[in-house]
Copies of this chain bind each other. A is one copy, B any other.
């Protein structure tokens, strides 16, 4: 396998050892999330689908795995001044919760356009909110200022060995659960922390497994990066999937470049349709970013691509479920 030989030659930011260490470290704190399946969705996809429900993870998203690993990796001396991050939401809530469990402060820089429910999660878990403009530049400069003032440790949402290793524990868990042998895993891609961890662990256990990314058309920097052979960033993004607007980092890009077998881009309307199917058929609350793996497997670009015709048993990571549902409740109350 080409990917396998590359894994031996290139040193990536994380590896199966760091991921297994993360699994042991976070085990007392994380939920082992269930895998659900639906014959109705299998029929729609023409494949067997196995949904790894990270929306049931603490904080409502997979992000708690990485945040927990990072926070509990810190020496006591490092930890005491707290942690800082900038995040559109799920990493922020996850880091707040992990810091709370360790008993240290969490300073969270949040862009002003973050979904309300994600900000509420940060506050619920005791994180201290510092607002920034909704640009990566403003997020980073605001975080730098907080760092200087507090002496806390910066924990980047994805471009960090500890974070990537924590997210990789999803693969270990999924491949140990009672599902048929998976030949493919489909993973939402944003900054690449999740898919890097998942690919590094999954391909270490089974080098033949395919790892595919699902990305919104309106934030298709990863697809463009793969095509160009270098990191491409976009002047702006436009997608309903608020969790998938970040760009690849220098630690995640090499993994995406070498170990991700393909990127399936989908339109927002496909994401919304998949989200609807998750609610109506799986009975699982997902946010748009969380539904994109199902959108990918149902898309024409996946179904008609001969490269994926042998993808029969597919693991799909439902990455998170933090979504504002106020309108539903208003309707119910009437």
Contact = CB atoms under 8 A, between A and B. Distances in A.
Interface of A: 31, 34, 36-37, 39-40, 53, 55-56, 58, 60, 117, 124, 240, 272, 275-276, 279-286, 321, 325, 327-329, 331-333
Contact of A117 (B37, B280, B284, B331): B280
Give chain A's interface secondary structure class: helix
6 contacts: A31-B36, A55-B283, A240-B332, A279-B285, A283-B285, A283-B286
Given A124-B40, A282-B56, A284-B284, A327 B331 contact: yes
A118 to B, nearest CB: 12
A283 B124 CA distance: 16
A39 B58 contact: yes
Lowest 6 CB-CB distances: which A-B pairs, in order?
Answer: A283-B321, A34-B34, A327-B331, A283-B285, A55-B283, A328-B328
Contact of A333 (B272, B321, B331): B272
A283 B327 CA distance: 16
A312 to B, nearest CB: 21
A45 to B, nearest CB: 16
A323 to B, nearest CB: 9
Nearest to A328: B328
A4 to B, nearest CB: 34
Nearest to A290: B283
Contact of A56 (B58, B275, B283, B285): B283
A272 B329 contact: yes
Contacts of A327: 327-328, 331
A285 to B, nearest CB: 4
Given A279-B325, A332-B272, A56 B36 contact: yes
A63 to B, nearest CB: 14
Contacts of A325: 276, 279-280, 328
A279 B56 CA distance: 11
Contact of A283 (B60, B331, B332): B60
Contacts of A328: 279, 325, 327-328, 331
Contacts of A34: 34, 36
A56 to B, nearest CB: 6
A67 to B, nearest CB: 16
A33 to B, nearest CB: 9
A34 B51 CA distance: 13
Contacts of A333: 272
Given A272-B332, A280-B325, A328-B331, 13 more contacts: A31-B37, A40-B124, A53-B283, A60-B281, A276-B329, A279-B285, A283-B286, A283-B321, A284-B284, A285-B285, A327-B327, A327-B331, A328-B328
